[in-house]
A = this chain, B = another copy of it.
């Protein structure tokens, strides 16, 4: 199973808050326009990010703020906030316990899958929201330069 777009959308929200704060009102509606989804989806995710301590929102008021600096928010922090202890790989819940394979495969795969998951999560833990924002700005700068060049 893949990880849902909730994870990507959440990173999007955090980057949006940082980049557009003070420039346009940070409402669920404005953020939703950037993601091209509905404001309710954004509010649900913002609510989770708030509970996880990544942003500070106020019930009834717009303009959420990042609760920590972008350097100190890792993609793994976001993953934890949104996906919790969800697994990247799925294991059958019922296999035949009478069979040598069926009776031991679940525990076995669980151990090996954890190795792979931890490797992936360790990578995510070393990528910060600031890295994401920096990359976005660089890519935008390249586009702007391209546009300028054509004039």
Contact = CB atoms under 8 A, between A and B. Distances in A.
Interface in A1-41: 1-5, 7-9, 11-12, 15-16, 19-20, 33-37
Contacts of A9: 92
Given A4-B1, A87-B2, A92 B132 contact: no
A88 B35 contact: no
Given A5-B90, A92-B35, A109-B132, A12 B140 contact: no
A42 to B, nearest CB: 13
A145 to B, nearest CB: 14
Interface centre among A20, A109, A115, by most chain B C-beta atoms within 10 angstroms, is A109
Contact of A101 (B86, B100, B115, B136): B136
Contacts of A112: 75, 124, 127, 131-132, 135
By DSSP majority rule, is chain A's interface helix, strand, loop, or mixed?
helix
A143 interface: yes
Nearest to A124: B116
A36 B115 CA distance: 26
A62 interface: no
Interface string A75-100: 10000000000111111101110011
Contacts of A89: 2-3, 7-8
